[in-house]
Amino acid sequence: MTVQKTSRELYEDYKAKMQKIADVRNAMAILSWDQETYLPEKGAGFRGQQLTTLSTIAHELFTEDALGTLLKELSSRSDLSATEQKNIALSLEDYEKQRKYPASFVAELSSATNAAYHAWIRARKENNFAVFEPLLSKMVALKRRETDILGYEAHPYDALLNEYEKGADVSMLDTIFRDVKESLLPLLQKIALQDAPDKQFLNRHYPKDAQWEFGLNLLKAMGYDFKAGRQDVSEHPFTTSFNPQDVRVTTRIDEQDLGNMTWSCIHEGGHALYEQGLPTEEYGLPCGEAASLGIHESQSRLWENNVGRSLIFWQHHYGKLQGIFRSSLQAVPLNDFYQAINLVQPSLIRTEADELTYHFHVMIRYEIEKGLIEGSLQTKDLRDTWNQYYLDYLQVEVPDDMKGVLQDIHWSHGSFGYFPTYSLGSFYAAQLFTTAKKQIPGLENAIASGAYGSLLQWLRENIHRYGRFYTSNELCEKVTSEKLNFRYFLEYAREKFGGIYQL
């Protein structure tokens, strides 16, 4: 006689299976982190094989019939907690999606990703898009196949976008970027008529080791737990998490550009604080994962821009910075520094762009990705298309591939649908920070004194602890009492830059 298991016993079986899959995926993540930080050049080939093997194992574990049967049985049980029910519902949704992927496609995509990444590295070294283009063409073909595997209603790009931002689609993004063009362009035009702040002192010599130590101190001040993480150097700054107690960040240091390291540390620190704030008891389960990339980006942008580029933030930190870099900053007043770090000026590099022109960088990538996936744009034409977009939208001429089409790592990873979340994150950040200032007594005074504990605790309570329990817009509405509204970012931008440029 077979004794039927209780819901509690079944849930523990489910939890064990999901954590086993998470272990395999996090082993992959460690190998990927090492690939972008310490991997010797000759190790690339076998590393690709290792990642392909592990990705295949993870896929097989997550798509086995036994897991599907378990999830369906648990989804019929009514005696689970709300969080447990949400975990089951999301896992079943993920399971049914993953079942659509043939194992052969998963292996092929993993192998292509490894080859594309190393081709991108070589192409950057040679400053030649042609080195990367054949691998990118193969990647785009695979991503087009993926849209057919996943299925979509209106536009193939929607299928990829939903992997990063559930519920978002081309129609939503077209509306948002229309707002960007219609609302931000007039502000940019007004700013262009004003005298630009002098930022030359930011490009004096700033020794690498001193920058590194200052960056570490900023991360500590924000609340980043170095007992649960570390910082390293990489070609492209990123954050990776293996669990909330092992969350790592990287930065990029340029001795002739103080801002490069400073804001990559704050930005990645925001991402890391989110990961360190996810519930450890939900490891391997949906409610132990970030809500979306848009919400993830809201955390990094809130810290980087709403906090880290504010005057009150530097009222506390600027004296320390002057003490470290006396020859470069001792004679520079705080207000001049504040205006310089908020200079609005069309530029070539997305990661170094100001808060306003940044969204045109994102829009360019969105338009390109949409074209590649729908087939109206081919990779062989990508360099020329990229350069023309920069001329049309930002009025800048692209001098070479390093400063143009090769600047981002995302396409070498196959991360199509990722870029729009950067702008969404900034818009969520403005709305969340406006609410935080209303709900946290004396928040601005606390920031001015270098105390960020109340803000971090507010984010822990309102954002981090929920994991994927809510979608982005559900979470935004829960916290701010309304869904994403571009008006908050526009008001923030008008107030801040209107003051700096005396508009």
As annotated, the active-site residues are 268
Residue in the structure block whose two tokens are 């070539």: 348
Q: Which residues pair with 239 in a beta bridge?
A: 249
Determine the Cα–Cα distance for residues 87 and 287; give it in Å rounded to an integer. 6
Question: DSSP letter at 202?
Answer: G
Helices (H), 278-381: 293-301, 311-324, 326-329, 334-341, 358-374
Contact 54, 323 (CB under 8 A): no
Tokens representing 492 are 């923030």
Q: What are phi and psi of 330, to 5 degrees?
A: -55, -35
Tokens representing 188 are 């940019």
Determine the Cα–Cα distance for residues 456 and 433; give it in Å rounded to an integer. 12
Tokens representing 270 are 């925001």
Tokens representing 478 are 């829960």
Determine the Cα–Cα distance for residues 65 and 255; give it in Å rounded to an integer. 54
Strand 239-243 and strand 246-251: the pairing is antiparallel
Determine the Cα–Cα distance for residues 478 and 490; give it in Å rounded to an integer. 21
Contact 142, 108 (CB under 8 A): yes
Determine the Cα–Cα distance for residues 445 and 430; give it in Å rounded to an integer. 19
Determine the Cα–Cα distance for residues 396 and 393; give it in Å rounded to an integer. 8
